[in-house]
Amino acid sequence: MSGIGRPLLELDHVERMFGGSWLGRLGGDNVVRAVDDVTLSIAAGEAFGIVGESGSGKTTVGRMIVRLLDPTAGAIRFEGQDITRLRGGALLAYRRSVQMVFQNPYLSLNPRRRVRDMLLDAYRIHHLASGRDAEERVAALMEMVGLRRTMLDRYPHEFSSGQRQRIGIARALSVEPRLIVADEPVSALDVSVQAQVLNLLRGLQEELGLTVVFISHDLRAVSFLCSRVAVLYLGQVMEVAPRRALVERAAHPYTQALMGSMPSLAPGSGITREVIRGDIADQQPPPGGCVFAPRCELRRRLGDPDRCLTERPWPRELSEGHAVACHFADAEARPDTDARPEATGAAAGPTTPTTPTMVGISDPTRVPAVTSTGATT
Amino acid sequence: MNVIRRLWRIRSARVGVVLAVLLLTTAILGPMLLPLDPNAIDVRARFAGPSTAHWLGTDDLGRDTFTRLVHGSRMSLFIAALSALLGTLLGVTLGVITGFLGGWVDVAGMRVVDLFFAIPTLLVAIGIVALFGPSATTTILALGIAYTPLYARLVRGTVVSVRSRTYVDASRVLGARGVRLLRTDILPGIVPIALVQTTALLGFALVDEASLGFLGLGVQPPDASWGQMINAGRQFIFQAPWLTLIPGFAVILAVFSINLIGDGLRDALDPRASQRVGDT
Ligand SMILES: Nc1ncnc2c1ncn2[C@@H]1O[C@H](COP(=O)(O)OP(=O)(O)OP(=O)(O)O)[C@@H](O)[C@H]1O
Ligand code: SF4
Ligand SMILES: [Mg+2]
């Protein structure tokens, strides 16, 4: 599935820092490099996933793509054109091409506005339609996302979480975009409707030939929806791979750990879970080395090679469309089920000051069941 | 509107509304219905006590206190309403511009506001009256301008917080900006706070009009306002205390009514309350 057509969206060494102003530094603020040299290429019509723990920079990437934030370095190209400096009419045109579905539909819908007004915005702003024509289009949007046109006169509080997110999706679709960034579109929803909304997104993506950048901390949801996946850690890309490659031969120790904590996809038993020591913010990664080093199981198994601390591993291609940012990824190209008891033993050893923590992957009861797309809740 | 219905459901606010309606009716219709001239001098009836001819007695010039009180209510409420309106217009405009545009506009605007903010409201008002001479118009101008900094600061803060809400981001991604964004997403977000603040200003203005009047810097004789009446009665405070007490009581009653409404509004607009009852 990888590499269909030419890239629609390219991130070229994109970096975003926060708190970098001289005033902030004066006040003792830390500079956060939320996104650190991210290079990605997303093909037209593809569903591309971005996964990572909380704080890995997923939202920041998404907000830069939709121009809610500007990168501090690097370029973002849409159909070959750098969009990071667009202004005025050109920016408005870009906004017709790229839309966003927000994480929390309780926050992303203005409580004081009727659904109709929110959906009509696009037509008014871009002068796409007016009068009866616009009314018809708005009604069609509602039906497209599995809501009824009679609901147009309601306010957001009259809807359930799933319905609200459907409205959020309808609004994103109202300009007929080419690309939609969906930032954790189901994580704020009631568990019972998450699968329905994921199904809706998948259906729309296929039906409308949309390109979707799907952001999630839930590797399971990502593999359900996406043909290719990038794994982010502390603002850096650890691994990019087609879904199959990721599931079957995850190369990066971080990805392997994520997979291991996902029983439904992990090879072998569902009981043993690989753990990642420490929390994402626990240890400062060594400057100049690999950001994952403080928590890396592979590095431990290899006897703590110096290279991990002195040289940043840049993504390199293992096979077609499968890149990994680890010096030693090929040493063990498969998640080694047998090594786990040993790993657990090491975790209990005296050399590890932090307690083992599970990566933030939700519990197995949240496996999205593939059900019908249309049903409303 | 839903807010009004919710307001009416609060008992104390209901009392305030009833009082306010009474006061307003008196101020608007009273002067037309009363037979006496508020400025008619009758030296034979100076400092008269309450009687059927003069319900609340007379002042040092024999003018009917009740008639003057009613005529004065029109003036006082008019001044309070207009200065609150002026303060609101200036405050909201300044607050929205600085809060929405941000950057150097924000920095410069807030510097000026801070400067004014450091001076007590009444002192600002007195300064302005000193510049233009006392009259009803200067009172309105002075109070309206004096209330602006506080209001602007409040609105700016609210706009800055509303501006960063997710639904504003969502509108931006759709392409909304400038006036459209203000109209659809930002201004509706500041309406509740503005309503409460304007109501509070009404109360302040009533008191401040009285204070300016007391200092002789407000409405000038022979025109009546509550503040002017307090000032006029001041010299005879021991001889005829009702001349100050009665208009003073009128101010207190009006402020009380406005405060009841203000508190009620605050509750009626409480987001948690609106979650319960359903938002507008
Ligand atoms: N506006 C901001 N100002 C300062 N720091 C920020 C800002 N936005 C994000 N950050 C920081 O950047 C890093 C990445 O944040 P981001 O929200 O992109 O992560 P995320 O992967 O989306 O996490 P989550 O799963 O919690 O949504 C975090 O350390 C965060 O604290
Ligand atoms: S480079 Fe070293 S520390 Fe980084 S992921 Fe690979 S083995 Fe682990
Ligand atoms: Mg996020």
Least confident segment among A225-229, A255-259, A321-325: A255-259
pLDDT interval class at B173 (50, 70, 90): very high
Least confident segment among A179-183, B258-262, B268-272: B268-272
| Residue B24: burial class (beta carbons within 10 Å; 0-12, 13-18, 19+) | middle
The CA dihedral of B127, B128, B132, B135, to the nearest 10 degrees, is -100
Backbone angles phi, psi at B30, to 5 degrees: -45, -55
Task: Give me the residue from B167, B173, B275 closest to A109, CB to CB.
Answer: B167
Residue B66, pLDDT above cutoff 60: yes
Cis bond upstream, residue A105 (ω within 30): no
Instruction: Report residue B37 as tokens.
Output: 């001239």
Q: How near does any CA of chain B get to the CA of A117, in Å?
A: 9
Residue A340, pLDDT above cutoff 60: no
The span from the first CA to the last CA of chain A, in angstroms, equals 33
| pLDDT at position A28 | 59
What are the C-alpha distances in Å from B153 to residues B52, B92, B96?
A: 52, 9, 10
pLDDT interval class at A331 (50, 70, 90): low
CA geometry: angle A16, A21, A22, nearest 5 deg: 145
Distance CA A309, CA A313 (A): 10
CA geometry: angle A95, A96, A99, nearest 5 deg: 65
Please state the three-class secondary structure of B171-217 as a single string.
HHHHCCCHHHHHHHHHHHHHHHHHHHHHHHHHHHHHHHHHHHHHCCC
Q: Are B211 and B187 in contact (CB under 8 A)?
A: no
Residue B228, pLDDT above cutoff 50: yes
| pLDDT at position A260 | 73
pTM: 0.81
Place of tokens 């990572």: A52
Find, in chain B, the residue whose alpha carbon is nearest to that of A180. B173
Residue A31 counted as domain residue:
yes
**Contact between B280 and A157 using a beta-carbon 8 Å cutoff:** no
**Contact between B174 and A104 using a beta-carbon 8 Å cutoff:** no
> What is the complex's ipTM, to 2 decimals?
0.80
B166 touches chain A (CB under 8 A): yes
**Contact between A110 and B173 using a beta-carbon 8 Å cutoff:** no
| pLDDT at position A166 | 97
Q: Which of the pair, A74 or B213, is modelled with greater confidence?
A: A74
Distance CA B99, CA B78 (A): 31
**Contact between B189 and A100 using a beta-carbon 8 Å cutoff:** no
What's the average model confidence in pLDDT over A60-74? 96
Instruction: Return the H-helix or E-strand segment holding A115.
Output: helix A115-125
Distance CA B85, CA B15 (A): 23
Place of tokens 């059927």: B52
Q: Which residues of A touch B189 (CB under 8 A)?
A: 112
| pLDDT at position A261 | 62
Strand stretches in chain A, DSSP E? 7-18, 32-43, 47-51, 73-78, 81-82, 98-101, 179-183, 211-216, 228-233, 236-242, 276-277, 316-319, 322-324, 356-357
Find, in chain A, the residue whose alpha carbon is nearest to that of B165. A107
Least confident segment among A94-98, A238-242, A259-263, A348-352: A348-352
Asked whether A41 lines ligand 1 (CB < 6 A), one says no
Cα A145 from chain centroid? 22
What's the average model confidence in pLDDT over A141-170? 95
Most distant CA atoms of chain A, gap in Å: 72
**Ligand 2 pocket, CB under 6 A:** A 253, 290, 292-293, 296, 298-299, 308, 313, 326-328
What's the average model confidence in pLDDT over A183-211? 93
On average, the pLDDT of chain B sits at 89
Question: What CATH number is associated with residue A82?
Answer: 3.40.50.300
Residue A348, pLDDT above cutoff 70: no
SS3 for A171? helix
Residue A288 counted as domain residue:
no
Task: Give me the residue from B176, B180, B278 closest to A157, CB to CB.
Answer: B278
Q: Which residues of B touch A127 (CB under 8 A)?
A: none
Q: How near does any CA of chain B get to the CA of A89, in Å?
A: 10
CA nearest to A147, candidates A134, A155, A159: A159
**B interface test, pick of A69, A97, A112, A176 with most B CB neighbours within 10 Å:** A112
Q: Which ligand is nearest to the CA of A292?
A: 2
Find, in chain B, the residue whose alpha carbon is nearest to that of A112. B280
The residues, ordered by sequence, that sit 6+ positions from A290 with a Cβ below 8 Å of its Cβ are A296, A299, A308, A309, A311, A312, A313, A325, A326, A327
A33 touches chain B (CB under 8 A): no
Please state the three-class secondary structure of chain B as a single string.
CHHHHHHHCCHHHHHHHHHHHHHHHHHHHHHHHCCCCCCCCCHHHCCCCCCCCCCCCECCCCCEHHHHHHHHHHHHHHHHHHHHHHHHHHHHHHHHHHHHHCHHHHHHHHHHHHHHHCCCHHHHHHHHHHHHCCCHHHHHHHHHHHHHHHHHHHHHHHHHHHHCCHHHHHHHHHCCCHHHHHHHHHHHHHHHHHHHHHHHHHHHHHHHHHHHHHCCCCCCCCCCCHHHHHHHHHCCCCCCCHHHHHHHHHHHHHHHHHHHHHHHHHHHHCHHHHHHHCCC
B1 touches chain A (CB under 8 A): no
What's the average model confidence in pLDDT over B215-241? 88
Q: How many domains does chain A have?
A: 1
Residue A286 counted as domain residue:
no
Residue A45 counted as domain residue:
yes
What's the average model confidence in pLDDT over B88-108? 93
A114 touches chain B (CB under 8 A): no
B2-41+54-279: CATH number = 1.10.3720.10
Instruction: Give the DSSP letter of residue A29.
Output: P
**Contact between B278 and A108 using a beta-carbon 8 Å cutoff:** no
> Domain of A238?
9-251+316-333
Residue A364 counted as domain residue:
no
| Tens of pLDDT, residues B118-129 | 888 888 888 888
pLDDT interval class at A21 (50, 70, 90): low
Residue A305 counted as domain residue:
no
